[in-house]
């Protein structure tokens, strides 16, 4: 295969995290992330703090002119902002304050995340208790609100960290289920109809356009739709390498050829003994050989990450995993063969 050269805002041989970190201390998380990941730091999520700090609640707090509150069954769309919205926004403000503190003088890429439109539609309930995914009009409204909220959020990050080239990560673990029609209804007895791939692509493109900068879509679920994401205009796809099947490799090769970066989840996300850093990315080198891609493009095309978020890890392991990702990414640059 031949490869297209694409300039990304992060340097070759970069590593980053996915999003969540253990604990509840925003300053400690920001210090760890920015200290470990100089090339591509990110805004951590701390779901251990409770509802509103989880990825759905945090993103619900970003929505423009749509609000949500917590029910026993999950997050539900509301008419007006309440205690749960205020708490989500307060925690996000704390996280941004901490990030700003530890990124003084930062120049280069900086990643922030939000839940993508389809995982949000599958997770947020309408007033009757059914997922927004059940109503195409609600999905359109949710996408528009999310786009406006993301635009405002990214503008705030750019003001706080003027030297940053902000990269938006959209978390879409439910996207494959949405496309396959396997998201269960509230009763659990049926599933919601599959969303047309063109409609799904269009909503994602709306978020890409709103970001006005590079967008990476993350999913640690099997069956990541690489082709659809590439057509939607994303700059990168973040996935768990251990879930990649041989049948998906051609789509991965086409993505690389088209200039799409691969954020490869190659380091376990929960406490486990870590191999040597080059060994952690041995599967990436093997994939490159099978696809006939030039080894010299590895460090430019691949960003090394944990397999998913680190919220379930111990603080010590989370620090070690991020440092391991950095060393593994460096090994791809130093020894791509």
Report pLDDT digits (tens) over 38-47: 999 999 999 9
pLDDT digits (tens, 9 = 90+) for 148-158: 999 999 999 99
pLDDT of residue 1 exceeding 50, the answer is no
Q: What pLDDT shows up at residue 129?
A: 93
Q: What is the pLDDT of residue 188?
A: 85
State the pTM of this model.
0.95
The Cα 317–Cα 332 span in angstroms is 22
The 3-state secondary structure of 84-127 reads HHHHHHHHHHHHHHHHHHHCCCCCEEEEEEEECHHHHHHHCECC
Backbone angles phi, psi at 265, to 5 degrees: -80, 95
CA angle 164–170–174, rounded 5-degree value? 165
For residues 178 and 197, what is the distance between their CA atoms, to the nearest angstrom? 10
Taking only the tens place, the pLDDT of each residue in 276-312 is: 999 999 999 999 999 999 998 999 999 999 999 999 9
Under the banding of pLDDT at 50, 70 and 90, the label for residue 6 is low
Ramachandran assignment for 22, one of left (phi > 0), alpha (psi -120 to 50 degrees), beta (any other): beta
Q: What is the pLDDT of residue 336?
A: 76
Structure token pair of residue 239: 């996935």
Res. 2: pLDDT tops 80: no
Mean pLDDT value across residues 200-211: 98
Paired sense of beta strands 67-71 and 74-78, if any? antiparallel
Q: What is the mean pLDDT of residues 106-124?
A: 97
For domain 26-334, give its CATH number from 3.30.870.10, 3.20.20.210, 3.40.50.970, 2.60.120.260.
3.20.20.210
Residue 2, burial from CB neighbour count under 10 angstroms (0-12, 13-18, 19+): exposed
Q: 157, 164 in Cβ contact below 8 A?
A: yes
67-71 vs 236-240, strand pairing mode: unpaired
């Amino acid at each position: 295969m031949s490869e297209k050269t694409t300039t990304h805002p992060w340097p070759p041989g970069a590593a980053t995290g996915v999003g969540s970190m253990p604990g509840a201390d925003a300053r400690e998380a920001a210090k760890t992330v920015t200290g470990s990941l100089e090339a591509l730091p990110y805004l951590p999520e701390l779901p251990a703090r409770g509802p509103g700090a989880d990825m759905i609640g945090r993103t619900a707090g970003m929505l423009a002119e749509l609000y949500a509150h917590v029910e026993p069954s999950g997050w539900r769309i509301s008419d007006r902002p309440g205690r749960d919205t205020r708490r989500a926004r307060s925690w996000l403000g704390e996280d941004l304050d901490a990030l700003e503190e530890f990124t003084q003088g930062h120049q280069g890429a900086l990643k922030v995340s939000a839940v993508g439109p389809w995982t949000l539609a599958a997770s947020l309930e309408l007033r009757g208790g059914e997922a927004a995914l059940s109503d195409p009009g609600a999905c359109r409204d949710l996408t528009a609100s999310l786009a406006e909220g993301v635009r405002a959020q990214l503008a705030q990050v750019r003001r706080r960290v003027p030297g940053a080239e902000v990269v938006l990560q959209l978390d879409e673990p439910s996207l494959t289920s949405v496309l396959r029609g396997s998201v269960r209804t509230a009763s659990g007895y049926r599933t919601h109809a599959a969303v047309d791939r063109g409609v799904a692509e269009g909503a994602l493109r709306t978020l890409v356009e709103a970001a006005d900068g590079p967008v990476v879509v993350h999913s640690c679920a099997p069956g990541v739709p690489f082709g659809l994401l590439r057509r939607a205009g994303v700059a990168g796809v973040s996935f768990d390498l251990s879930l990649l099947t041989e049948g998906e490799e051609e789509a991965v090769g086409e993505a690389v050829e088209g200039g799409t970066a691969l954020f490869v989840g190659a380091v376990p996300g929960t406490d486990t003994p870590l191999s040597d850093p080059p060994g952690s990315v041995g599967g990436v080198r093997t994939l490159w050989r099978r696809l006939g891609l030039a080894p010299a493009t590895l460090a430019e095309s691949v960003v090394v990450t944990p397999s998913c978020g680190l919220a379930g890890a111990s603080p010590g392991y989370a620090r070690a995993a991020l440092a391991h990702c950095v060393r593994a990414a460096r090994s791809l640059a130093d020894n791509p063969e």
